[in-house]
Amino acid sequence: MQAESKIAGNSETSESDRDQIARVIQAYVDGGRSGKADDMKPAFHPGATIYGYAGPDLFGGPIQALFDWNDKNGPATELKSSIANIDIAETIATVRLELENWSGRRFTDMFTLLKTDGEWKIISKVFHLHAES
């Protein structure tokens, strides 16, 4: 699926940064499709966090909670994703990702990323689980 990206901030932001960030996000999506946390783990910094509401309940804490949920959920082979926005400022970035049919659910994810040791890593993920329609 073709995704549009916007880069704001420094005009010297390289195309390769945008491409690297898109690959990090794709690793996350691929892990959702496979249902294997090990496929998405490389996208995340070891100290990353996740927060959002799953119905009335706050789901949050260390990123391991996402990995555990993903392994229990299993493959989401029909998952479709679209990067709505990428915003880069030197060594930090934000990404908005729209996800359709993650095991029948629709999510909006927002990520903050940090370029550390020359690699982009997701530092935090917040999500919105859309009501079923």
Tens digits of residue pLDDT in 32-69:
999 999 999 999 999 999 999 998 999 999 999 999 99
> In the numeric block, which tokens belong to residue 29?
């999506």
Separation of alpha carbons 28 and 15, rounded Å = 20
Domains of the chain: 15-129 (3.10.450.50)
Tens digits of residue pLDDT in 98-114:
999 999 999 999 999 99
Separation of alpha carbons 110 and 94, rounded Å = 7
Please, what is the end-to-end C-alpha distance for the chain in angstroms?
A: 23
